[in-house]
């Protein structure tokens, strides 16, 4: 399937993977959605992959302030194993939104087909 800045990357029996393109045209901003079913747990998982960045530029105009923020992020990851990051993808216009909705509808159909094709569990 090909839509405006949205494409299906891969499909397996229980997983569908889409790439959502950013309106700026830079593939570094794209998001990858992986939707997979777990019939044993009766769950659908949505994985969102994208490049993320530490928020070091807003409110930190001086280079040493940004360096200090990077150290703080690094130490936070070191001691807590996680850190809050952000990512953004630009959505431009109705056609782009419709394309994203279309892939989600298609993913929904794939999930329903997969669930209905599984044998009943006792």
What residue ranges bind Zn ion (CB under 5 A)?
22, 24, 26, 29
**Contact partners, residue 6, CB within 8 Å, separation at least 6:** 18, 19, 20, 21, 96, 99, 100, 102, 103
The residue nearest Zn ion at its CB is: 29
Strands laid side by side in the 6-11 sheet: 2-3, 6-11, 15-20, 31-38, 43-49
By C-beta, is 26 or 109 nearer to Zn ion?
26
**Comparison of 56 and 89: residue with beta carbon closer to Zn ion:** 89
* Least distance in angstroms from the C-beta of 85 to Zn ion: 16
- In angstroms, give the least distance from the CB of 3 to Zn ion: 17
Alpha-carbon distances of 93 from 18, 41, 118, rounded to whole Å: 19, 37, 38
Q: How far is the CB of 87 from Zn ion (least distance, A)?
A: 10
CB of residue 88 to Zn ion, shortest distance in Å:
7
């Amino acid at each position: 399937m090909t839509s405006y800045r949205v494409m299906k990357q891969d499909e397996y029996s229980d997983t569908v993977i889409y790439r959502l393109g950013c309106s700026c045209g830079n593939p570094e901003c794209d998001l990858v959605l992986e939707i997979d079913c777990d019939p044993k747990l009766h769950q659908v998982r949505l994985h969102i992959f994208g490049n993320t960045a530490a928020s070091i530029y807003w409110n930190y105009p001086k280079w040493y302030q940004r360096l200090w923020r990077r150290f703080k992020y690094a130490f936070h990851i070191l001691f807590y194993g996680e850190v809050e990051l952000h990512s953004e993808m630009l959505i431009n216009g109705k056609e782009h939104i419709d394309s994203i909705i279309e892939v989600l509808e298609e993913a929904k159909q794939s999930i329903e087909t997969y669930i209905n094709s599984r044998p009943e569990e006792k």
